[in-house]
Amino acid sequence: MEIAINDVIEPNLIENIGNQRPVLVVEDDRSFLQRLAKALESRGFAVTTAESVADGLSQVEQSAPAFAVVDMRLGDGNGLDVISALKRRRPDARGIILTGYGNIATAVNAVKLGAVDYLAKPVDADDVVAALLAHEQTKIEPPENPMSADRVRWEHIQRIYELCGRNVSETARRLNMHRRTLQRILAKRAPR
């Protein structure tokens, strides 16, 4: 799918980027980072990479790019910190969050902090490009294989469990659920 930059991107970004489309990719999985960077370069982006939140923040301070693709969970922190810093430095920048742990609460938080989209891994480079270049008024197509309600519930429980420091009793209290019920849920595999 070929996307014409002038058709879908905001006019103020076109002025700033000319023929180059600078993008910062922050990802701690080195092989995925290299594949995504190569794919974005082949699609006309000038790619800068970082493997941690600290590196990403440093890159944003040096030169805030027009675009960013940031992993949610990085070894040294939360990728949303990079998106937030980018939006402070360059309000017209378009950033997307990638995650292997998709849930509604973090998606909402990502958008509140300035991300324009939230994509679940594994992700295709064409989906990343489409998300980066999509105009704000463009209606996003629903996913072909959305998460089931059981999966969304399971992801939410896992998130609260992690936030409670993997403390079953505290998690059960916050979810208003019996501790043994929670233990049974945690012992099962993730639903599809």
Query: Which amino acid type is present at position 136?
Result: E
pLDDT at 8: 42
pTM: 0.61
113-129 burial code (b ≥16 CB/10 A, e <16): bbbbbbbbeebebebbb
pLDDT at 142: 61
Which phi-psi region, left, alpha or beta, contains residue 77 (left: φ > 0; alpha: ψ -120 to 50)? left
- The number of angstroms, rounded, from the C-alpha of 126 to the middle of its chain's C-alpha atoms is 15
Distance CA(23)–CA(43), nearest Å, equals 11
Per-residue pLDDT band at 13 (split at 50, 70, 90)? very low
Distance CA(161)–CA(165), nearest Å, equals 7
Per-residue pLDDT for 66 more than 50? yes
Structure tokens at 155: 């992801």
Does 5-133 match 149-187 in CATH topology? no
**More confident call, 105 vs 86:** 86
Angle at CA 164, nearest 5°, toward 160 and 166? 95
The CATH number for 5-133, chosen from 3.40.50.2300, 1.10.1760.20, 3.90.1150.10, 3.40.50.300, is 3.40.50.2300
Distance CA(15)–CA(62), nearest Å, equals 20
Residues 68 and 47: beta-carbon distance below 8 Å: no
Per-residue pLDDT for 16 more than 90? no
DSSP bridge partners of 96: 69, 117
pLDDT at 138: 52
What mean pLDDT comes out for the span 42-71?
90
Q: Strands (DSSP E) along 93-145, which ranges?
A: 94-99, 115-120
Distance CA(104)–CA(111), nearest Å, equals 11
Q: Determine the 3-state secondary structure of 36 from DSSP.
A: helix
Distance CA(26)–CA(76), nearest Å, equals 12
What mean pLDDT comes out for the span 14-43?
80
Q: 149-187 domain in CATH 1.10.357?
A: no
For the chain, which residues make up each domain, given as ranges?
5-133, 149-187
Residues in the chain: 192
